[in-house]
Chains A and B, each alone.
Chain A
Amino acid sequence: MTLATTTRRGALKALGAGTAAAALPLWARYAGAQSAAPIRIGFQKHATGIGATYGRWYERVSQAAVKRINEAGGINGRPVELVTEDDGTDPKRGAEVVEKFALEHNCDIAFGTLFSHVVMGSAPRAGELKLPYFVVSEGHHVASGALNRWTLQPGITDVKSQVRAMAPWVAANLGKKVTMIFPDYAFGHDHRDNFSEAIAAAGGEIAGLIAIPPTETSFTRYFPQVPAETEVIYHVMVGPGVLTFVKEMGEFFGPSRPQVFGFIDSLEGVDLTSPGLEFLEGTYFWEGNPRYAQPDQTSHDKAYRAAVGVDDNGASVDDPRDVSTYAHMFGCWETLNVIRAGMEAAGYAGPEDRQKLVEAVEAMTEMPLSDDHPQGAKVFNGKTHQVFGPQYISKVEGGRLNVVHTASIEDGMYPDEVDYTTQPF
């Protein structure tokens, strides 16, 4: 076999040429940067891997939000541009993507990550590069203090908050003895730890805990572990196996099922009328944002649905079988609007103002219900870098989800666990 011969000199030459080529457009851009150069937002997309269903919708929503911002004049008079990179829903690749945004694409900030393990893998690198990193992940890791001053979650509530808002309602309306079924990694453990604590506080108890490996494809084998005294099954699953999971749960319990309360993550992006899901009739779901347009729909939700191309059933207007990840993707829309507000408050002009941007977002508090925040009013906690908002509980009736309870912002509040503002930049 012959190998292409590479000499040291040849390699150096090629490297030098590459560096020069990469550097040239940079100078050209800086020449006009004061006025019209676009603000570049690095979008870390789960285009492949187990997060791909979410990634596709996160991108559609983000593009729609950027379009709206640009039509309204951009940010500080400059247009906004999304720079999309696939992270493969993989933590290692996620860190590389963040690095690429900062060093190669000259992005002003990074944005848009959902899966908690990718956030955990990427955030330390964003901190080292001093790149503001806006995640849309609902993991508790931001507010728990595990990350750093450069990582913020201003557009979606975290699991701890969601779970605390749900537990009293579950105990009061469905039953006291709860068996939890959750994925066996950080996101599922957030559910396990926080719900166990919250249900005990609400006078209930945990009957069983069933952890399922995240790559599992067959679930019947886990259901025998459900203790017979269980009154409520609490399920939260993610990934491509979710429909199988719900279907097999129905087949296992048959006509004698206990009450079932799930996080819509278990069926995000899945049509509720899919074959095998009939047994869900009469069960309950947490929803971050109601998938089906409700009778009391706000004008803001209406405008948002139209902008992102989703119909009243939560599916794409182009293809009714293409169901959106409606309960989560509003987070991208709201986060981008927070970024705009932050950049405007900070007088953001370029990467040298990144610290000012973080400080401006930390100073935010109230975010009223509006076209910028269509899911509901929010309260941002600058110390923990985490936003708080309303939560919805819906019941499956006639193959659609009808909201039966709205938990207030205060229901999801908890004492601060960190003060990022005391950390140095």
Chain B
Amino acid sequence: MDFGPHLMLALIEGAVLSAVLALTAAGLSLVFGVMRVVNVAHGEFYMLGAVAAWFVAAAVGGAGPAAFLAALALAPLAVCALAAAADLAVLRRIAHDPERTIVATIGLLYILQQATLMGFGPDARPVAPPFNARIAIPWPVWEEGGLALTWPWGLSVTTYKLFVIAAAAAVLAGLWLMLTRTRAGLVMRATQWDRETATAFGIPVERVYALTFGLGAGLAALAGVLVVPIQQAHYLMGGDALLLSFIVVIIGGLGSLPGTLVAALLIGMSEGIVSVFFSPTLAKILATLLVALVLVFRPQGLFGAAGR
């Protein structure tokens, strides 16, 4: 493949990865920002979203978009409720202590993963995309007599992949508006700023925590639902999602939504480009190196506020 079309393909792949990553990492970042909880089970909520999407789509049945739309609506809600229940049942009992919650969420990771293996099985299962037309992308070349369009072999995108990018952008914009423009967002930001003062002002902090944990998990689950027509639901799919999300929130700054978005674009695009032109292993090496550099020179992340 020529350089130009090849780069174009790399950018498209990178954009899809960035979109999914931004959603997942935003959930992780939100939970950390508000609750100061490092949720190690975050990748499993992403996996549960994909698995729940399969169950909903299989229950609805049919080849049309109805099955996927039902999954898109129901699966994140179900995961959200499960996560809120996990917060009330487990994390609240250890007082959201930063160290103990890490251990608790590691336990949660294994419980969710193995329960999925027992209930859902070890197979990778597909959900049909609501639409999936292949769009061949034209490429301009200079020929004698001016500009001409060619259709390079393999340069294409599917409508569903474009939809994933648009949907992720819309959800993140919605999240931003919710946090900055609504009362719920105000309450969450107040809790993030100072838990004790918030309690003194009558904010039901425990309830805010449960909802935040649910919302964070719901965002991951939504990313899982969006990705399942591209990559099937599988009980081990949460591992990579967790790792990349951590990389993104460390680079972007824990608790900073704009930082998360910028870092997701940075990591997604560089992963797309480096892995297309060099090797995926090199892309992972570079991402890890970037994390190390950020931790050394700017521990609060690119956009994070320095500790108070």
Contacts and interface: CB of A to CB of B under 8 A. Distances in A.
B102 interface: no
B73 interface: no
B13 A221 contact: yes
A240 B275 contact: no
A345 interface: no
B56 interface: no
A252 B5 CA distance: 13
Interface in B143-158: 153-154, 156, 158
Interface stretch (B25-33, B76-84, B180-188, B227-235): B227-235
Interface string B118-133: 0001111011110010
Interface in A233-258: 240-244, 251-254, 256
B17 A55 contact: no
A165 B63 CA distance: 40
Contact of A228 (B123, B153, B237, B281): B153
Given A244-B232, A251-B156, A276-B132, A220 B122 contact: no
B178 interface: no
Contacts of B1: 224, 228
Contacts of A52: 117, 121-122
A241 B95 CA distance: 39
Chain A CB within 10 Å, residue with most, of B121, B122, B276: B122
A415 interface: no
Contact of B122 (A55, A221, A270): A55
Given A218-B13, A218-B17, A224-B9, A275 B128 contact: yes
B9 A217 contact: no
Chain A CB within 10 Å, residue with most, of B121, B126, B158: B126
A49 B114 CA distance: 11
Interface of A is mostly: loop
B134 A221 contact: no
B117 A48 contact: yes
Given A56-B122, A240-B232, A220 B136 contact: no
Interface string A380-402: 00000000000000000000000
Contacts of A216: 280
B232 A251 contact: no
Nearest to B6: A224
A412 interface: no
Contacts of B280: 213, 216, 221
Nearest to A220: B13
B67 to A, nearest CB: 10
B156 A254 contact: yes
Contacts of B154: 223-224, 226, 252-254
A217 B156 contact: no
A244 B126 CA distance: 9
B10 interface: yes
Given A221-B276, A251-B134, A275 B126 contact: yes
A179 interface: no
A24 to B, nearest CB: 33
Contact of B232 (A228, A243, A253): A243
Contacts of B126: 243, 274-276
A253 B121 CA distance: 32
A269 interface: yes
B255 interface: no
Chain B CB within 10 Å, residue with most, of A49, A213, A223, A224: A224
Contacts of B158: 251
A19 B190 CA distance: 60
Nearest to B9: A224
A270 B63 CA distance: 18
B152 to A, nearest CB: 10
Contacts of A50: 236
Contacts of B9: 220-221, 224
Contacts of B134: 251, 254
A353 B191 CA distance: 71
A53 interface: yes
Contacts of B49: none
A266 B122 CA distance: 16
Contacts of B117: 48, 52
A55 B122 CA distance: 9
Contacts of B153: 228, 253, 256
A251 B12 CA distance: 13
Contacts of B129: 275-276
Interface in A29-66: 48-50, 52-53, 55-56
A243 B229 CA distance: 11
Contacts of B232: 240, 243-244
B272 interface: yes
Interface string B151-167: 00110101000000000
B156 A252 contact: yes
Contacts of A221: 9-10, 13, 272, 275-276, 280
A325 to B, nearest CB: 10
A280 to B, nearest CB: 14
B276 A224 contact: yes
Contacts of A220: 9, 13
A269 B124 CA distance: 9
Given A52-B117, A243-B232, A256-B153, A213 B240 contact: no
Interface of B: 1, 6, 9-10, 13, 17, 63, 117, 121-124, 126-129, 132, 134, 136, 153-154, 156, 158, 229-232, 234, 236-237, 240, 272, 275-276, 280-281
Given A53-B124, A269-B123, 8 more contacts: A218-B231, A224-B154, A224-B276, A240-B122, A240-B236, A242-B124, A254-B134, A270-B124
- The 8 tightest CB contacts between A and B, nearest first, are A52-B122, A275-B128, A224-B1, A240-B124, A240-B234, A221-B276, A244-B231, A252-B154
21 contacts: A52-B117, A52-B122, A56-B121, A56-B122, A216-B280, A217-B240, A220-B9, A221-B275, A221-B276, A224-B9, A240-B123, A240-B234, A240-B237, A243-B124, A244-B230, A254-B156, A275-B129, A275-B132, A276-B128, A276-B129, A276-B132
Interface of A: 48-50, 52-53, 55-56, 213, 215-218, 220-221, 223-224, 226, 228, 240-244, 251-254, 256, 269-270, 274-276, 322
